[in-house]
Chains A and B, each alone.
Chain A
């Protein structure tokens, strides 16, 4: 498989559930990102990982917990979410975090609904 894949594509969860989103990149990149797109808002950067180390946490609540076990995989663990967390969650990767000229390659996203 090529590019950036995300699973699941759709997720419905209750506020007390714990779930995880998975992202995998097959591009040999060193940096991975989580973005959130809420209705009628621009894409918002949540977390950045570079060589498996978290280098950016964009003031995201602790009910979102990222994990990057290796440079190909990125998870977003979800716990006691709120209905306002319902959104499209996109994963992306790039060759190097520090190079501003590298384009980011995106996955198709997970559509999350919190009931």
Chain B
């Protein structure tokens, strides 16, 4: 993988459903993997910075895992709420603090 790829591009779920999405990135020269949450008309907001293979981070109902050997990270949302509706971006850092972003997963949670 040469670029950062996210799947799916968009996702519609019902309130209360749990969901997950994927970020794939080049596994060579890995420094860190960032997850951001971007609500419409607002600024992207950092969720997690993950650095070690096997890392698992959690913030409330949102958690993320990291596999640097195979080059992927999963973001999980447990019991989705309408306020979770946003675009979730991942970014790969392979030099200094230069981020290469994926195209994002747009999540819409229906009440």
- Chain A residues at the B interface, C-beta cutoff of 8 Å: 3-4, 31, 40-45, 48, 56, 90, 94, 96-109
CA distance A101 to B99 in the complex (A): 11
CA distance A96 to B97 in the complex (A): 8
Which of B12-20, B40-48, B57-65, B68-76 sits within the interface?
B40-48
CA distance A31 to B98 in the complex (A): 11
CA distance A41 to B32 in the complex (A): 22
Cβ contacts A to B, 5 pairs, < 8 Å: A42-B102, A104-B97, A106-B44, A108-B43, A109-B43
Q: Considering only CB atoms and an 8 Å cut-off, how many residues of chain B contact the other chain?
A: 26
* Pair A108/B32 contact, Cβ less than 8 Å: no
* Pair B46/A104 contact, Cβ less than 8 Å: yes
* Pair A42/B46 contact, Cβ less than 8 Å: no
Q: How far is the CB of A111 from chain B (nearest CB, A)?
A: 10
Q: How far is the CB of B31 from chain A (nearest CB, A)?
A: 4
Q: How far is the CB of A68 from chain B (nearest CB, A)?
A: 16
* Pair B101/A101 contact, Cβ less than 8 Å: no
Given A103-B34, A108-B41, A97-B101 contact (CB < 8 Å): no
* Pair B98/A102 contact, Cβ less than 8 Å: no
**A107 surroundings in chain B (CB, below 8 A):** 43
Known: A43-B99, A104-B99. 5 other contacts (CB 8 A): A90-B43, A100-B97, A103-B46, A104-B46, A104-B97
